[in-house]
Chain A
């Protein structure tokens, strides 16, 4: 079964450093997402991406965050200057169209120290 893959699985970074989380969505999918789950809390929507542009973003997704699809397969989330409160599990997801099943990756656990 096709799957969404994410790298790295775990990253520790110092406060203020830039972090790039990488994702390879399912190949024929067109809609891509990033979600965040702070330890012990619910999964929160960050951003959706379609047709090479952001289609929706949440209040969490401020100027420190950016997304990019640099080629035909990768979808990245960049945090420009990490803060302690950015420590969380970040999930990438993709789907063929809204309403279809959204497939999630295994997540990238980010620890900011």
Chain B
């Protein structure tokens, strides 16, 4: 069975500062990894995903995540955050051959302050 741990429930950061949101997963088989973002009063939107290939994946709005198999991590980073990045961020894992269901972490609230 897979599981996901997001170690930080809240991450406050000032605008234009770098940020890292941590995600660790547990699985006995290979997995696909995802980051979803939930803006206030909205649904879940895919931010980026790792399926295979390059371990560094990027989103269109400046976020990136690196798959580290030895450390079973998929941390999300951004070198300079904006106020508009304030949201809840969820790391999720799925197994390639199952029903495709996602197992989510607890979520991390990113609070960007001016």
Interface residue? B100 (CB, 8 A): yes
CB pair A55–B90 under 8 Å, yes or no, is no
Interface residue? A25 (CB, 8 A): no
- Per-residue interface assignment for chain A, residues 19 to 62, with 1 indicating a CB less than 8 Å from any chain B CB and 0 otherwise: 00000000000010101000001111100101000011000000
- Per-residue interface assignment for chain A, residues 88 to 112, with 1 indicating a CB less than 8 Å from any chain B CB and 0 otherwise: 0001010101111111111100000
Knowing A98-B94, A104-B45, A107-B43 are in contact, say whether A42-B101 is a contact too (CB < 8 A): no
Report, as a range, how many residues of chain A touch the other chain.
20 to 34
Contacts of B45 in A (CB 8 A): 104
Report, as a range, how many residues of chain B touch the other chain.
20 to 34
CB pair A31–B49 under 8 Å, yes or no, is no
CB pair B99–A55 under 8 Å, yes or no, is yes
Contacts of B44 in A (CB 8 A): 43, 91, 93, 104
User: In chain B between 78 and 114, which residues have their CB closer than 8 angstroms to a CB of chain A?
Assistant: 90, 92, 94-107
24 contacts between A and B (CB under 8 A): A31-B99, A33-B102, A35-B102, A41-B106, A43-B44, A48-B100, A56-B98, A91-B43, A93-B44, A97-B100, A98-B95, A98-B96, A98-B97, A98-B98, A98-B100, A99-B32, A99-B51, A99-B100, A101-B46, A101-B49, A102-B34, A102-B100, A103-B46, A107-B43
Residues of B at under 8 Å CB distance from A? 32, 34, 36, 42-46, 49, 51, 90, 92, 94-107
